[in-house]
């Protein structure tokens, strides 16, 4: 095709030739979007639509947030940092365990027919069980609440990572394997130079999904049990009708969730430079 049609031009020219909206800079529109969102929030609280009057306005929430960051205690005598630390620790630990176990298993089940036929079906059976449903089981089977939460996070992240890794292996073209073999490579070389690099993008995708589910799991698990943590303090504050803390808790959770997904993607891009688009 022709040289320099950027994607954006293609979109606007072919699709919106009839849209004669005077061009407003995009950042203005995006700012407008966020602005509208905050405005709606404010109005709803002021009006007291449904139960909104129980919540705090954006301004009050911002003030609360800053005071917590400054060190004021959130709930049960702990600062925001303590709660965040505990939750983060659980997510990182659970996710780490998941990555370390799911990737080798995924590779094995993707590569070897024996594993695929004899080991995988058992996992397939356990996979549909939602992570949170494991909470009571973990609580009665494992020694402590902490271990129970770790287990739930682990199991939430485990399956997406394993499945995506498996599918990544399945996609490998036989020809790549043949190419390495004809260069004199043995099985180990095959893994190192073909299987693992080729499967990396899928592993990254799986981990990104896993991170998302890990956060859902940790929040739900913390809401159901005790001990410091963001989910825990959010729920406790709800019980005590301290809605300021509730909203702040949600914002912090969202921020961490976004940051961790973003982090995983960055690491992923760094590890897989060949998948990035080449600009000429």
Q: Which residues between 1 and 30 bind other proteins (CB under 8 A)?
A: 1-6, 8-19, 21, 24, 26, 29-30
Structure tokens at 42: 């404010």
Comparison of 15 and 70: residue with beta carbon closer to other proteins: 15
Structure tokens at 245: 């803390």
Comparison of 91 and 194: residue with beta carbon closer to other proteins: 91
- Of 259, 249, 229, the closest CA to residue 83 belongs to 229
- The answer to whether 57 touches 65, Cβ cutoff 8 Å, is no
Shortest distance, CB of residue 132 to other proteins, whole angstroms?
4
Comparison of 180 and 208: residue with beta carbon closer to other proteins: 208
Shortest distance, CB of residue 178 to other proteins, whole angstroms?
23
Stretch that binds other proteins, among 57-65, 92-100, 184-192, 237-245 (CB under 8 A): 237-245
Cα–Cα separations (whole angstroms), residue 110 to 35, 105, 146, 150, 231? 47, 8, 33, 27, 36
User: What phi and psi values does residue 157 have, to the nearest 5 degrees?
Assistant: -80, -25
Q: Is 279 in the site for other proteins (CB under 8 A)?
A: no
* Alpha-helix runs per DSSP H in 48-144: 58-69, 80-111, 113-118, 120-126, 134-141
- Dmax over Cα atoms in the chain, in whole Å? 74
Among 58, 96, 130, 227, binds other proteins (CB under 8 A): 130
Comparison of 261 and 272: residue with beta carbon closer to other proteins: 261
Among 103, 107, 213, 264, binds other proteins (CB under 8 A): 213
Stretch that binds other proteins, among 34-42, 75-83, 164-172, 176-184 (CB under 8 A): 34-42
Q: Is 237 in the site for other proteins (CB under 8 A)?
A: yes
Helix H or strand E encompassing 24:
none
């Amino acid at each position: 095709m022709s040289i320099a049609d950027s994607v954006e031009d293609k979109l606007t020219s072919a699709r919106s030739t009839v849209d004669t909206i005077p061009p407003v800079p995009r950042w203005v529109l995006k700012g407008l979007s966020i602005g509208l969102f905050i405005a709606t929030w404010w109005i709803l609280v002021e009006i007291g639509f449904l139960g909104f009057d129980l919540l705090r306005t954006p301004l009050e929430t911002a003030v609360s947030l800053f005071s917590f960051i400054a060190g004021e205690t959130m709930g049960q005598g702990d600062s925001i940092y303590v709660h965040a630390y505990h939750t983060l620790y659980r997510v990182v630990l659970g996710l780490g365990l998941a990555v370390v176990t799911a990737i080798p298993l995924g590779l094995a089940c993707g590569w070897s027919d024996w594993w695929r036929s004899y080991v995988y079906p058992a996992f397939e059976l356990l996979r549909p069980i939602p992570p949170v449903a494991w909470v009571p089981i973990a609580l009665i089977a494992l020694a402590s609440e902490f271990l129970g939460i770790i287990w739930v996070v682990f199991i939430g992240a485990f399956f997406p990572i394993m499945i995506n890794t498996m599918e990544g292996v399945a996609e490998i073209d036989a020809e790549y394997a043949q190419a390495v073999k004809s260069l004199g490579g043995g099985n180990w070389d095959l893994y190192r130079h073909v299987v693992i690099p080729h499967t990396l993008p899928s592993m990254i995708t799986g981990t990104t999904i896993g991170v998302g589910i890990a956060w859902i799991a940790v929040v739900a698990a913390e809401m159901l049990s005790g001990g410091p943590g963001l989910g825990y303090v959010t729920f406790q504050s709800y019980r005590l009708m301290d809605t300021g803390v509730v909203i702040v808790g949600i914002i912090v959770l969202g921020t961490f969730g976004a940051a961790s997904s973003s982090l995983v993607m960055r690491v992923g891009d760094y590890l897989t430079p060949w998948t990035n688009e080449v600009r000429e």
